[in-house]
A = this chain, B = another copy of it.
Amino acid sequence: MTSLLLFYILDLAGTFAFAFSGAVAARNRGLDVFGIFVVAFLVACGGGVLRDVCIGAVPPAGLSDWRYLAISSVAAVMAMYSRIVRERLEAPIVLFDSLGLGLFAVTGAQKAMIYGLTSEGAVILGVLTAVGGGIARDVLLNRVPAILKGQIYALAALAAALIEVVGHRASWPADRRAMAALATCFVLRFLAVRYDWHLPRFVTPPDDEDPRK
């Protein structure tokens, strides 16, 4: 029960964090009020919608549960109107974003296995659930997806999805494997931000952008 409640809170907090970061990026890129709502919703729900379409779980949860739309809209409004709010929220957003990342990877992989996907398919869809919205955001904002350019971000989601799927196949208790996956993703992401870890790249293009913008 406790863990169900925890996951529920993390799901809402992660959705908020994803939507907020999308709204800030859209705002800074010069999108209008409507565009900011669209990108906030897309980052929060885009990965899950892609997953649901791929496994045939239609209509996708992101389109049929009003809470995701409501949370995205609140996050968009908060990101739009107040510089103080944006600054105050910076640290908690990084925190909830990391927690949301792990949770989305775990729940995405779980749902894919429930719908009968193979293990490797479930891992791919777990990662897609977690990072699909962020990739869609960067595609709409017309830039190479930041998370494919050196950050330890998609890799942390991959770790979480892998642990969930391997744990499921090995019949670990559901709670324990989800907790292990969440913790691994969070610690990996935390250490990467704290010690400025990056994945290797072979070429640095001249038009390289700051992924934060």
Residue numbers of A with Cβ under 8 A of B are 26-35, 38-39, 41, 49, 53-56, 58-60, 63-64, 66, 69, 80, 112, 115-118, 120-121, 124-125, 135, 139-145, 147-151, 154-155, 158, 198-205, 208
Question: Complex formed: what's the CA distance from A23 to B139 in Å?
Answer: 19
**Copies of this protein in the complex:** 3
A81 to chain B, nearest CB (A): 9
Q: In the bound complex, do residue B140 and residue A142 qualify as a contact, i.e. CB atoms below 8 Å apart?
A: no
A54-B69 Cα distance, complex, nearest whole Å: 16
Complex CA distance for A181 and B205, rounded to whole angstroms: 40
A46 to chain B, nearest CB (A): 12
For A201, the chain B residues whose CB sits under 8 A away are 30-33
